[in-house]
Amino acid sequence: MQRPIRIGTRGSDLALAQANTVASLITKAHHLEEGALEIVPIKTSGDLLQEQRLSEVGGKGLFTKEIEEALYDKRIDMAVHSMKDMPTELPPGLIIDCVLEREDPRDAFISPAARSIETLPQGAKFGTSSLRRAAQILAQRPDLEIVQFRGNVGTRLKKLEDGVASATLLAMAGLNRLGMPEVATDPVPVEKMIPAVAQGIVGIERRVEDEEIAHILSPIHHVETAIVMAAERTFLAALDGSCRTPLAAHAVYEKGRIRFRGQILTPDGKIVHTAERDGSPALSAALGADAASELKAKGGPEFFATW
């Protein structure tokens, strides 16, 4: 490839950090010279709509539409995404068959007012636009008031500083990638709060027919992360998951086995159902699908009507 390899990404500090990590890994894997790669920031609809819930304005696809159009138009050669922002179905002709090793999947509790969720003052305002996080917080602390809290990491931290809310949750992975782990007041164990599907995983999207890019990406693909992601994203797809649905899933690859936990909640956090699976890595996707079937049965039609 004579021209630079163009890597498309959103323009936030976190998105650019992730794209630069991908560029660095590719450079090292192929011993490329400086200038062989170009980062192309792309403004998405999701970046422009900062005050509403994603569920109200179009869902996760708002963070990918313009980037995927650039892939189709061959203005970029690959696109770097946070996999937790990706819809379960990709547009025709596009594929994600390369993921980086998973970062810390935990949510980070951040507050100037308390050391933990449990010690927040009665009736405190909790800032989040995530239906999952809101439902999980209300399940633990039904007295708290949920306030809308969208924007990039810096924007949300500023809202916290300005007193818009007493606390919030951010992904520990994002804080680590930005070199800001100390911002976390209390990283929440996954046993206590199951994270979003694929939280902490970066994926690289490409055109299906572009074998040259497939070859370039092959050495940086992390197989174990892809295996656990398959369980989580299959679970999400089986439940017709989107940002309109409070659900969570987390899988780990340990000692040659996959351990999976999935959860569905009503938006008010009053009803919570959890399913667990353990099995062979070859059955990863099946484990996620089976757990979803169990939760569909547990919830029943009335539960899903709340979504």
| Structure-derived torsion over alpha carbons of residues 53, 58, 60, 61, reported in degrees to the nearest 10 | -150
At residue 40, the 3 state secondary structure works out as strand
Positions marked catalytic: 85
DSSP-derived secondary structure for 150-194: -S-HHHHHHHHHTTS-SEEEEEHHHHHHTT-GGG-SEEEPTTTS-
105, 200 Cβ separation under 8 angstroms: yes
> What's the gap between Cα 129 and its chain centre?
14
Nearest one of 163, 158, 166, 184 to 114, comparing CA atoms: 166
Q: Which residues, including other chains, have CB under 8 Å from residue 48's CB and lie 6 or more apart? A: none
In whole angstroms, give the CA distance from residue 71 to residue 73. 5
For residue 216, how far is the Cα from the chain centroid?
A: 24
In degrees and rounded to multiples of 5, residue 40 shows phi and psi of -115, 100
Helix, strand or coil for residue 137? helix
